[in-house]
């Protein structure tokens, strides 16, 4: 299976070359994704979040305790396309409509806040660069209707997955404008994205059955950026496709580093389409 060599990389703060501009445009049509150089997110701040989660074992706490934590979403409680359960646990931060439970442990909260601060200083640069690359006249952020964002820390445990389920994350698209995905391990951790040129299908379930997928290993100093359905809707399918992605369970990642537990952190930018 080809890997992320076919996904181009954006470096912020430099003049984008014409070859970068054309390869990012092509990748947004073929995969709805690109890679971003972001050591500010991958090196210290996100590693601190992951270390804190591991060291304090937040996800190993009794379910009654986790259920008390604001933003906690239990194993198999989120549904994809309203029917397929997502076999992960998450804690969401900054999400609207999260009920007023106890805040998660202070260290966890602080480390996520530090990461969010780093992201805040990157955000306008990334969106400005993307506007240049896509030759946009309308801003993608800066209006109240687009500026919503929230973060999710995700925990996947293969011991809970059972034998018959092959995906930590069933195939899906994200609903907002962009998702920035930071992963804990510098390995093949099962993330795959669809090559949308290999299928005529448009829904994520159909694409999941039909398309070829590429494996996207985690690289140090880089994050993956997915386009969401809102961006596809705003700019049109001929310019940007929403990324169709899934995460294979460790048993499916043959001949590669096997991880039983997986942590990731997603920053979701832009409200989903209502
Ligand atoms: O954990 C991952 O790598 C992907 C998570 C994801 O796709 C999501 O939360 O929407
Ligand atoms: Fe996703």
If phi > 0 it is left, if psi is from -120 to 50 it is alpha, else beta; for residue 94 that is: left
Give which of 181, 165, 150 is closest to 84, Cα–Cα.
Answer: 165
Mean pLDDT of 235-245: 97
* Residue 267 CB–ligand 1 contact under 6 Å: no
Per the domain annotation, does 14 fall within a domain? Answer: yes
Instruction: Note the ligand closest to the C-alpha atom of 91.
Output: 1
Residues β-bridged to residue 263: 155
pTM, two decimals, is: 0.94
Q: 247: Cβ below 6 Å to ligand 1?
A: yes
Query: Alpha-carbon distance 216 to 72, whole Å?
Result: 27
Residue 108 inside a domain? The answer is yes
Rounded to the nearest 5°, which phi and psi values hold at 244? -100, 115
Distance (angstroms) between ligand 1 centre and the Cα of 140 equals 22
Structurally, how many domains does the chain consist of?
A: 1
146-180 tens-digit pLDDT: 788 999 999 999 888 877 788 889 999 999 999 99
The rounded distance, in Å, linking the Cα atoms of 8 and 10 is 7
CA distance 17 to 14: 9
Q: Domain containing 59 — which CATH number? A: 2.60.120.330
Ligand nearest to the CA of 167: 1
* Beta carbon of 69 within 6 Å of any ligand 1 atom: no
Residue 62 lies in a domain: yes
Q: Which atom of ligand 1 is nearest to the CA of 154?
A: 1
Decide which of 6 and 268 is more confident. 268
Determine, yes or no, domain membership for 274.
no
Ligand nearest to the CA of 88: 1
Cα atoms found within 13 Å of the Cα of residue 194, Cβ hemisphere only: 28
226 CA → ligand 1 middle, Å: 10
ipTM for the predicted complex: 0.99
> Does 34 map to a domain?
yes
Domain membership of residue 113 (yes or no) is yes
Ligand 1 atom showing the smallest separation from residue 183 Cα = 3
Range of the domain at 102: 3-269
15 CA to centre of ligand 1 in angstroms: 31
Q: Return the pLDDT at 224.
A: 97
Residue 251: the pLDDT is 67
Judge whether 145 lies within some domain. Answer: yes
Which residue has a Cα nearest atom 1 of ligand 1? 264
pLDDT on residue 271 = 80
Residue 97 lies in a domain: yes
């Amino acid at each position: 299976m080809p890997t992320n060599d076919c996904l181009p990389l954006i470096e912020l703060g430099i003049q984008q070359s014409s070859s970068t501009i054309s390869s990012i445009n092509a990748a947004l049509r073929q995969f709805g994704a690109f890679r971003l150089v972001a050591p500010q997110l991958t090196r210290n701040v996100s590693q601190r979040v992951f270390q804190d989660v591991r060291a304090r074992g937040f996800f190993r706490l009794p379910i009654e305790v986790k259920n008390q934590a604001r933003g906690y979403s239990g194993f198999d409680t989120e549904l994809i396309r309203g029917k397929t359960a997502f076999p992960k646990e998450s804690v969401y931060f900054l999400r609207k409509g999260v009920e007023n439970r106890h805040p998660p442990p202070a260290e966890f909260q602080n480390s996520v806040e530090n990461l969010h601060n780093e992201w805040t200083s990157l955000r306008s640069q990334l969106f400005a660069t993307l506007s240049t690359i896509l030759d946009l006249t309308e801003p993608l952020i800066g209006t109240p209707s687009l500026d919503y964002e929230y973060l999710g820390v995700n925990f996947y445990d293969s011991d809970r997955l059972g034998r018959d389920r092959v995906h930590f994350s069933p195939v899906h698209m994200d609903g907002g404008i962009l998702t920035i995905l930071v992963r804990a391990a510098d390995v093949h951790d099962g993330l795959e994205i669809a090559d949308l040129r290999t299928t005529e299908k448009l829904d994520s379930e159909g694409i999941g059955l039909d398309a070829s997928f590429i494996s996207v290993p985690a690289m140090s100093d880089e994050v993956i950026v997915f386009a969401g359905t809102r961006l596809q809707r705003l700019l049109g399918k001929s310019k940007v496709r929403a990324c169709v992605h899934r995460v294979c369970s460790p048993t499916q990642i043959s001949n590669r580093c096997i991880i039983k537990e997986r942590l990731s952190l997603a920053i979701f930018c832009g409200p989903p389409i209502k």
